[in-house]
Amino acid sequence: MTKAEYRLEIAKQLVQAEQDILYFTKNVRTLDSHGKGKDKIAYFPVHKEYLSRLLVLAQKAQKLAVYKSRQLMVTWAMCVIIMHEVLFIPGSYVGIISKKEEDAGKVLGRIKNIYDLLPVHWKAMLPVPQWYKAKKGIVVRMVMQHPNGQPDSVIQAYPSGEDQVRMETFSLIYWDEVGFAPDADARLTYGALKPTIDGGGRLLMSSTPPPNEEHFWHQLCSGNYLMGTEG
């Protein structure tokens, strides 16, 4: 295979990766916190039906709430969606929300892991990210530098709270562990995100069940939440 043929083959793979989230995910590797040595790195289990269905749904849904148990790879799946978006859609602005900025930064750290473990031959032709850390060394911001004058894509970590996100206009928001944000914060944050959703942005949410069944997250997922003064 000549150098030109090799580059053409990579380009074909990347076109397929852009168009097909499942093909992209087949090439994604993640970290297994329970593994040891080489076993800590494993391909994302896209062969599992619930995960492949979740990925397809999450890529298209304008608003999606996933009421989950632990160890189901849901957060990793959302990280795959975010990585795909900022790689292939110049100008994307993605917000990651969690209880604290540090918690949101840990999710962003998973996204960095995904990028670092992408096929080397892919990364040779993909845009290059810059990662920015907070004082504790946790990544809280990523800027994906797209070529040919295209706008950069950005991922930013935020703590929950209406003042943190009200003035921002996102193309995609991922809100992790909604059920463990203080109830008042969760309600106000959701209300603050409404203008982004109304403007065409997408909101993905996931969490294990909250300790209190009166919590916003349980009410939202059970269909009993009514937007009040916080909206």
Mean pLDDT of 14-31: 97
pLDDT in tens, 132-166: 999 889 999 999 999 999 999 999 999 988 887 87
Q: pTM here?
A: 0.93
The per-residue pLDDT for range 70-112, each reduced to its tens digit, is 889 999 999 999 999 999 999 999 999 999 999 999 999 999 9
Going from the N-terminus, what domains does the chain have, and what CATH number goes with each? 60-221 (3.40.50.300)
pLDDT tens digits for range 7-16: 999 999 999 9
Count of C-beta atoms within a 10 Å radius of residue 21: 21
